[in-house]
Amino acid sequence: MQKGRDLAGFLHETAAADIAKLITSIAEGTKELSHAVRNLGAMGLGGSMDVTNVQGETVQKLDDHSNNVMMRVCKDSGTCAGYLSEENEDIVTLNTGGKYIVSIDPLDGSSNIDIAAPVGTIFSVLERISPVGSDVTREDFLQPGYKTVAAGYALYGSSTMLVFSTGAGTHIFALSTDDNGYYQTHLRMFIPGGGRIYSLNQGNLGKFESTAQQFVDWCIAHEKGPYSLRYIGSMVGDMHRTFIKGGVFLYPAAKGEKRGKLRLLYECIPMAFITEHAGGRAINGSQRILDIQPTELHERCAIIIGCKDLVSKYEEFAQAVAV
């Protein structure tokens, strides 16, 4: 069977040279991580370490390995000036001469590692605002999402998929086990409308803001029949299904709070960027994700993301509650 266009050729034709180089380097890192996920036991990467990250979460061995791999490939790209990760408390300067900075969740869905469920990598790219030739600053990373120049994720599941946008559509590439190359499967893909799937941890529904309960009740009692609940437990896994089959992913704020659990800079913003370029929407309940001004490196954020119609329906319930 004939393969689609390869990643290198696609980036050469569609992206600026330095962006193409950075995404190519990140893609090479995802290949290493795909191999590590599939050879977890043989590589001694199963289980946890006796440390917690800045989020207060136990660090899995594969988390640490993933962070080291992605930091290395970003540095080796020569175009990445700075690096922010879920696993690092502060920013890291990689190349003072680099033009771009990367915010990344090296391994999304760590709780899925030991049960062989889908995990992934999420990243976003910004142009630095500090002078080239100097160390990066926190201000380089604390830019609103609408300034993102590229974002994407890799999914390590039954197959390894790379999904990204450089601002001109959202594209999907699959990793071939024949030659370890990425080949295009979807060009300028759009989230299907009319998807009848909602995705959230429904066991926590009683803890979420009241809008979430109203929205779920609407999904269950829909006049055309109840919507289907699907929840994998990794943002990458749930969002990949949303891109392919439509629907909406929700991680709302808890009652009495405005922020959710997911991280703004390296989970919500990159997913919002590629979702908007796939014809969808992403809000925190009341505000467009890409319009939020970040104030902290590891800031948390609520998110409702997916096809326009379902995100807009959630927004309707939120506005009614606010009146």
2 band by pLDDT with thresholds 50, 70 and 90:
low
Pairing relationship of beta strands 197-199 and 248-251 according to DSSP bridges: parallel
Q: Give the three-state DSSP class for 22.
A: helix
The answer on pLDDT for 128 being more than 90 is yes
What local confidence, expressed as pLDDT, does residue 56 receive? 67
For the domain made up of 197-322, give the CATH fold: D-Maltodextrin-Binding Protein; domain 2 (3.40.190)
The answer on pLDDT for 314 being more than 70 is yes
What is the C-alpha to C-alpha distance for residues 206 and 208, in angstroms, rounded to an integer? Answer: 6
- Max Cα separation, the chain? 60
More confident residue, 115 or 157: 157
Asked whether the CA dihedral 150, 271, 265, 286 is positive or negative, the reply is: positive
Looking at residue 118, its amino acid is P
Asked whether the CA dihedral 117, 171, 290, 29 is positive or negative, the reply is: positive
Q: What is the pLDDT of residues 225-265, one digit of tens each?
A: 999 999 999 999 999 999 999 999 999 999 988 899 999 99
The answer on pLDDT for 1 being more than 60 is no
Q: What is the pLDDT of residues 288-304, one digit of tens each?
A: 999 999 999 999 999 99
**Contact indicator for 79, 21 with CB cutoff of 8 Å:** yes
Count H helices, E strands: the chain? 8, 17
Q: Where are the domains of the chain?
A: 7-186, 197-322
What local confidence, expressed as pLDDT, does residue 55 receive? 67
- How much is the mean pLDDT over the chain? 93
What is the C-alpha to C-alpha distance for residues 227 and 128, in angstroms, rounded to an integer? Answer: 43
The reply to whether the predicted model has a pTM over 0.85 is: yes
Q: For the structural domain made of 7-186, what CATH number should be given?
A: 3.30.540.10
Looking at residue 146, its amino acid is Y
| From 58-67, 74-83, 135-144, 190-199, the region with the lowest mean pLDDT | 58-67
The answer on pLDDT for 130 being more than 90 is yes
